Amino acid sequence: MNPSVRNILVCVTQQKTCERLIKKALEFSNAGDSIYIIHVAKDNWSFLDNDREGEALEYLFGIAKSVGANLTVLRSDDIVDTIVEYARENKIDILVMGDSKGDHSENYFYKSLKLSLDHVEIHVVPN
């Protein structure tokens, strides 16, 4: 296996605006790199009953397919641990995530990921 090949993980929400995160991952990628896209929904979130969120996820599935990536949707009440586990299982080298809107919980989200994935290069994309 080529040691310069990297695995890139994009963390998305159920919003069409997350397309910018996928495009940013493409900027970081080189030929042969793999791009993974993940959306973690809390167990009690019902995105399939919500037309807007379902439509956004369908849109993101299309974007993922167009860049040769898979969009994985997982359910968990512990979003950070789920992303960390997924990143470790898939040997992720670079993680791309969106910026918060000044929300301190997002700050916590970034810090928790950074602490658990200290070997992963994390890029926060501004809104």
- Domain segments of the chain: what residues? 7-125
H/E stretch holding 77 reads none
Categorize the per-residue pLDDT at 105 as very low, low, confident or very high, splitting at 50, 70 and 90.
low
Q: What is the pLDDT of residues 5-34, one digit of tens each?
A: 999 999 998 787 888 999 999 999 999 999
CATH architecture of 7-125: 3-Layer(aba) Sandwich (3.40)
Please return the burial class of 17, using the count of CB atoms within 10 Å of its CB with bins 0-12, 13-18 and 19+. exposed
Residue 40 has pLDDT above 80, yes or no: yes
More confident residue, 6 or 44: 6
